[in-house]
Chains A and B, each alone.
Chain A
């Protein structure tokens, strides 16, 4: 990421004082807009904007062959695409480790909380429903993980499970997908020793490391991921978890 020393210095200096360039508090989100059912062709979809960051999520079902070690279950696959549209540094090619990490972190939260009951996806022997969630990053202005996780939640929440008849999926008709839990994430960047929620690009560059907590209602932690070279203390870990629980209710209300 191209940044300059003036900007990095300013962000670190502000962070030391508990301040941020746009005047937000250390644990404030930018404006969040959720567009539900943004892409009606898909069985479920949403577009989430956090500030200028934009991530779309699409949910699709297909008939698949169950995994051999789980023969009576359907499948859940989460994929993320850092589209070339979204940032000057996103280039075409095989998935970058950042896009893989993004997909796997969002996946881990959803899977740990068993939001989707894949056991109910068995259709007949050797055939089950495969649920695909595709996270499409359209505009990278910081904090892709939280935007992606929220988009995934909004897409799942409004998703329609197609009806299965004579070996085919009838997508126009179906039932509402049942979600056992609603998972949201909070990602914190460590800048000059302070923890900052919902970072913008410049703050991510000035940061030494990041920690993401995925939580669900009832104040359960479902997934965590530490990234970057900074270290975190136990107190910091638990503080961030508390913020994630508090913000969880706020984020769930947006969906």
Chain B
């Protein structure tokens, strides 16, 4: 169902309401290893989004019935805090939307994680959206990838994503909440940067084949920028120690 809006989300020269061009990402900051208890963690601050991911595992599989004798089971849980939106207070805990998002996120890592190395165990990916402003599932996957790497869990690649969409007739990268709510289409996309293949893909609205194709290219280009930030966040943890050790060379 195409969403129509009277709001001019994109000017004729391509500038968006917040001044960005159609291909610009919102400011993105990623920090790895922010939590002490978790085996791995990451905080993603993307525009006004604040998403925290933590990884526990591989560890004993619980509930026991999910134990797989050949590989690790992956359990992803995406939740939004009751104070995360800028409207009403919501109930804490999972709802239908968060359960669907948890499922599609889980599939991303079922592809990437080398689960055969840890049979009979479980890897828990816990994601909390502390503040939301459009594209939280993308921020969630971005954070979870970094958290998994921070935990030392073997993967074929880091997953990175972007919410591509259409508003005021224009294809845009990294939709914010306003563009998502009042635009014509929203396409959350997650790829494996090494292969360029799709790991998460959802779409709503009404688009032509050509728009889908251009949207995919737009997403891939934007995802590489996200990937660069993920790599930077992970390497930063080790660079500081390398520096310190260098300067301490007594």
Contact = CB atoms under 8 A, between A and B. Distances in A.
A160 interface: no
Interface string A38-69: 11111001000000101010111110000000
Nearest to B38: A85
A138 B52 contact: yes
10 contacts: A41-B132, A42-B83, A52-B36, A54-B35, A58-B83, A61-B89, A85-B54, A86-B35, A92-B77, A139-B36
Given A39-B84, A85-B54, A136 B128 contact: yes
B82 A58 contact: yes
A79 interface: yes
B87 A134 contact: no
B56 A39 contact: no
Interface string B53-86: 1101001001000000000000001010111111
B18 interface: no
A86 B48 contact: no
Given A41-B133, A84-B56, 17 more contacts: A41-B83, A41-B86, A41-B131, A42-B83, A52-B36, A56-B81, A56-B130, A59-B83, A61-B89, A81-B81, A85-B53, A86-B35, A134-B81, A136-B130, A139-B38, A140-B37, A171-B86
A132 interface: yes
A136 B92 CA distance: 10
A83 B131 contact: no
A40 B56 CA distance: 29
A41 B85 CA distance: 6
Nearest to B84: A41
A140 B83 CA distance: 20
Interface of A: 38-42, 45, 52, 54, 56, 58-62, 79, 81, 83-88, 91-92, 130, 132, 134, 136, 138-141, 171
Contacts of A40: 48, 131
B217 to A, nearest CB: 32
A165 to B, nearest CB: 15
A206 to B, nearest CB: 18
Contacts of A45: 83
Contacts of B128: 83, 85, 136, 138
Contacts of A130: 89
B92 A85 contact: no
B168 interface: no
Nearest to A54: B35
Contacts of A136: 81, 128, 130
A58 B41 CA distance: 22
Contacts of B148: none
Given A136-B128, A138-B52, A140-B37, A79 B83 contact: no
B187 interface: no
Contacts of B54: 84-86
B124 interface: yes
Contacts of A38: 130
Contacts of A42: 83-84, 131
A54 B37 CA distance: 11
A92 B77 CA distance: 9
B137 interface: no
A79 B130 contact: no
A88 B124 CA distance: 10
Contacts of B13: none
A85 B56 CA distance: 8
Interface in B101-129: 124, 126, 128
A52 B33 CA distance: 12
Nearest to A84: B126
Interface string B139-159: 000000000000000000000
Nearest to A91: B62
A251 B59 CA distance: 38
B50 interface: yes
Nearest to B89: A60
Given A88-B59, A134-B81, A39 B89 contact: no
